[in-house]
Chain A
Amino acid sequence: MTTFLSLFVALPIAALVWEASSEGTQSFWEAVSSPEAVAALKLTLGTSFAVSLLNAVLGTITAWVLVRDDFRGKSFVNAIIDLPFALPTIVAGLTLLALYGPTSPIGINVAYTKTAIVLALMFVTLPFVVRTVQPVLQELDPELEQAAHTLGASQTTTFRRVILPNLVPSLLSGVALAFAKAVGEFGSLVIITGNIPFQTEVSSVYIFGRIESGDSASAAAVSVVLLVISFVTLLSIGAIRHVATRHDRA
């Protein structure tokens, strides 16, 4: 089993790191700090950060509505939350373009803009926060909220002092997962952003372009940066889980 993992995961990654470092730190640094690569990375991190924040707010609200609210068709709404996971990303990009692109029936055209990137990333990361926060909310006794209410707390105070502290660990790991997914996203962005260098070209698309033009050293260098971001994000999720379960372990 360890052989399987080394063969399928560790070895390719070793090849990647090797390629990025084979020509020395100097050329690695040049590849990573080229203006186009830096612009792409800034755009990637900026949009991913924005999308993570949007997810934190809208995902928590959606999870709350799914747990505490009751309306007809709720189970249908609950089921479609996972659709972005099941739907191929390239199809996600195409569907967004159908409604918000040049042939939009409602006259909104954001194709080839940063707004399109944010929309596509919101689509593909939609399930993460909802699905990490929802089970915690389900376990949370509604009587806690009612007690706070009876003691005179306003709804905002109840949320801030009673609900939110319980949600923080799951919310953070959901947001971190969404961030990691957003940083690496490729399929849904290929069609919808037009991939204009310095404007709508994110890192994964930049890497793809470098591979296509035969410059695998630069592609590998930028890939290593994304790899490090993925690893750090995963490790922080692990740390959040570790801290959050400290009472159970004690």
Chain B
Amino acid sequence: MRKLGLRFVALGYLAVILVGPLSIVFWRTFEDGFAPAWDALTTPETLHAFKLTLIITAIAVPVNTVFGILAALAIVRKKFPGKSVLNAFIDLPLALSPVVVGLALFLLYGREGWFGGWLNEHGIQVLFALPAMVIATIFVSIPFVAREVVPTLQEVGDEQEQAARTLGATGWQTFWRITLPSIRWAVIYGVILTTARCLGEYGAVAVVSGRLQGQTETATLRVQERYESFDLAGAYAISIVLALLAILVLVAMTVIRPREETAH
């Protein structure tokens, strides 16, 4: 009896917070069939917004994957002063408000910012353009690969790496043949989380992009713009595409997680 009660509470909680609202958006979007949603999605501005989101993600994910693996190796295998500071800094983007991240970059690259004057003299546009949006997205998605790889590296230990080295393998060979294969599922899982975070970034990009329609507007910024222009159908249609991407991410997570756990 107690068990049933708890099950009821848990499922009710998920229904009220999660499943209910999402179902309504799906229903509202396709209330009048597929055609209106399709029309809302294929406007030039919306297509451009999706393209921009994909470009930013395509840059930020590889950068953070390489960094994440290197950071994890340093945290687990090396001893150096300031290691705990490095640890704290890697986690910071998880706990920091994206708006604060956006403001920090704004102050660095803006016209009166530290780099603003130099960039301006050399005619390089960072703020209110693609570079700042990429940097903001990299910032918010830094932790994910490192956080997945660290525990796996700790569990596999370094005996095999030492053996490889004793047998004459170079550092590079050891990494490609020994280390990377043993952490690959953790890396893939981290890449999936990073991708999800990049696709969904809103707050930091909202501050540094200037939100110029058809120029620096990403898919998430477009959702808000459509909503504020009283185009609910448009906002819902873009949201549905983003939600389907999220579900895709979820499926990938569900498939990969057991592999990652058994790989430990």
A and B associate in one complex? yes
What residues make up the interface of A, taking CB atoms closer than 8 Å to B?
Answer: 1-2, 4-5, 8-13, 15-16, 18-19, 58, 61-62, 64-66, 68-69, 71, 75, 77, 79-91, 94-96, 98-100, 103, 105, 119, 122-123, 126, 155, 177, 180-181, 183-187, 190-191, 203-205, 207-208, 211, 216, 219-220, 223, 226-227, 230-231, 233-235, 238
Of A90, A103, A235, the contact of B224 (CB 8 Å cutoff): A90
How long is the Cα–Cα vector from A75 to B104 in the complex, in angstroms? Answer: 41
How long is the Cα–Cα vector from A45 to B48 in the complex, in angstroms? Answer: 38
Of B89, B92, B107, B135, the contact of A19 (CB 8 Å cutoff): B107
13 residue pairs from A and B, CB less than 8 Å apart: A58-B13, A65-B11, A66-B10, A90-B239, A98-B236, A119-B17, A177-B94, A183-B97, A184-B99, A211-B99, A211-B102, A223-B99, A234-B91
- Given the known inter-chain contacts A80-B19, A94-B235, A226-B96, please indicate yes or no for A86 contacting B246, CB distance below 8 A: yes
- Given the known inter-chain contacts A89-B200, A226-B97, please indicate yes or no for A61 contacting B224, CB distance below 8 A: no
Task: Give the residue among B9, B200, B232 with the most A Cβ atoms within 10 A.
Answer: B200
Q: Are A184 and B95 in contact (CB under 8 A)?
A: yes
Q: Are B96 and A123 in contact (CB under 8 A)?
A: no
Inside 8 A of A207's CB, which chain B residues have their CB? 97, 99-100, 103
Q: Are A186 and B21 in contact (CB under 8 A)?
A: no
B23 to A, closest residue via Cβ: A99
What residues make up the interface of B, taking CB atoms closer than 8 Å to A?
Answer: 2-3, 6-7, 9-11, 13-14, 17-22, 24-25, 28, 67, 70-71, 74, 84, 86-108, 110, 113-114, 135, 138-139, 142, 193, 196, 199-203, 206-207, 219-220, 223-224, 227, 232, 235-236, 239, 242-243, 246-247, 249-251, 253-254
- Given the known inter-chain contacts A4-B67, A95-B25, A220-B107, please indicate yes or no for A230 contacting B139, CB distance below 8 A: no
B98 to A, closest residue via Cβ: A186
Q: B53: shortest Cβ distance to chain A, in Å? A: 10
Q: A146: shortest Cβ distance to chain B, in Å? A: 14
Inside 8 A of A18's CB, which chain B residues have their CB? 107, 114
Inside 8 A of B246's CB, which chain A residues have their CB? 83, 86-88, 91
Q: Are A227 and B100 in contact (CB under 8 A)?
A: yes
Q: Are B6 and A123 in contact (CB under 8 A)?
A: no
Nearest first, the 6 closest Cβ-Cβ pairs linking A and B are: A184-B97, A88-B200, A12-B104, A180-B95, A187-B202, A86-B246
How long is the Cα–Cα vector from A58 to B88 in the complex, in angstroms? Answer: 29
Inside 8 A of A233's CB, which chain B residues have their CB? 95
